Structure 1
């Protein structure tokens, strides 16, 4: 009776909530590191601004992104001699406001980036866990599929599938997602091969823990930090892939707006109306750099090999 009373006492039960303060302390420590990291802080601020612009696009954009007005086509930015404050960044060959199209184009880039990375990351995480943990013929089969994907240039594979399925937002997310899982699978597999031989995993096996419990309770949390880092960095690559496919006419189709599509439309006016293609290129560059800066900070913070 005395043992039962001791274990059910408030002092004993107070031990359980200690995990929450530890998480809060880790979060505070991570935020302090972010503030001290100039590139990480710049990346976080820029990315928050881009996400805010995408979320509040209808209230930020001064015009409808698809509204045409040929009487003001190829109007220069407002600081040039023929520019006007009504179109701060000028207009394109159909008289559409470039600022409004850039604002709405941020939505497409972020949606494609996040959804494609989520799809490819999920596929790669599952296959990497299975390959590294079980080994044998499962590992051999998955690695041969990985070798087959690596043997084909990714952009050619994307072009082939897009030409078969046709362009569109859903198709673009699917194509980038199923072609980008290889890097996740290889990274997760290498981590699992190391972790599965550690003492706590062997101890779990010795006491009769099931494979699924070992996999998801003991191994997955230890590879998740590396998975988050590579996912963040891959968002930048996906945005570039989306822009490349849209530039070639196989990505986002009108009336939807994408930065790659804007680049494609403005390339023929570079000599006379440089702003039509320059501003979408700047938007892509800033977004990619922001994600890379934030990804580098995450790597320095979460990767145990760098601590």
Structure 2
């Protein structure tokens, strides 16, 4: 009898593994059928690899100044130097090295801030949607208050009072953008909690925490992942905007937004100082958006139904 039980268990595990492999294979096929999805994945993977190996592949120290080589144009322009492929900035720092190292800070801020915002929004949305009543109304009024104030203005006020730093920037971006997740999760939770399997779980005495984590959360996580992926792009733009205004990343740290700020005075005479960081931001954001659109097509059950 025990042998039979173990055999059935093994068969069940093997069946589950086969289903997982089949689903993964299906996603891979869909990815390569989607040109934008493939391009997005390649861009994101390249940016992550560049950020992880920045110290190794950067040809120069990104903070090292050399006034003798200041404002050198890219290597293909007249007066360019093969030592500095994308030229140098107003302090003689290598732009290519700063872009490579800056990718690490920009991606770190973008991903970390989304994790903070997603955790807060997920918790608030689940609580509001599941319990309803006064708790729901109170959380939604807080959400309305956050939505009434423009995000960038709210961030500027907090950073001006507290002072800019990497950790402060991550926390500020997280606590000011969680409302997007909260509204989505609340709406999904309100719909799911009325379904038969949730009512059945309540009828047999399942505790609220188990119902939320086992029956509700798995059914909203796909939509949550899609929104989180797309919001990484938005957060990178916000970080660049704040750094451009002088309230984000500060020297000697390097970020693409800070590079844009350094190059704005030279845009007419030394276009490369601001152009290449701007291209890096644009390419990265487009890659994340392309990947997010593909994830939405794959994971969003509403689109599947259509």
Equivalent residue of 1:81, what SS? coil
The alpha carbon displacement at 1:8 in A equals 2.1
- Which residue number corresponds to residue 285 of structure 1? 282
Residues 1:223 and 2:220 are matched in the alignment: yes
Residues 1:211 and 2:218 are matched in the alignment: no
Alignment length (residue pairs): 304
Residues 1:15 and 2:12 are matched in the alignment: yes
- Which residue number corresponds to residue 134 of structure 2? 137
Equivalent residue of 1:15, what SS? helix
- Which residue number corresponds to residue 184 of structure 2? 187
- Out of 45, 54, 59, the residue aligned to residue 57 of structure 1 is 54
Cα distance per residue 1:99-118 (max 9 Å; x no partner):
00000000011000110000
Superposed CA RMSD in Å reads: 1.1
Farther-moved stretch of structure 1 (109-118 vs 7-16): 7-16
Mapping for residues 1-307 of structure 1, pairs under 5 Å: 4-5=1-2, 8-11=5-8, 13-307=10-304
Distance 1:13 1:278, change over 3 A: closer
Residue ranges of structure 2 left out of the alignment (5+ in a row): none
Equivalent pair of 1:7/1:13 in contact (CA under 8 Å): no
Q: Distance in 2 between matches of 1:9 and 1:290?
A: 47
The alpha carbon displacement at 1:13 in A equals 4.3
Q: Distance in 1 between matches of 2:275 and 2:201?
A: 57
Runs of 4+ in 1 over 3 A off after TM superposition: 4-7
Cα distance per residue 1:15-71 (max 9 Å; x no partner):
244222211211111111001100000000011111111111112111000000000
Residue ranges of structure 1 left out of the alignment (5+ in a row): none
The alpha carbon displacement at 1:210 in A equals 1.2
Equivalent pair of 1:125/1:184 in contact (CA under 8 Å): yes
Q: Distance in 2 between matches of 1:120 and 1:283?
A: 24
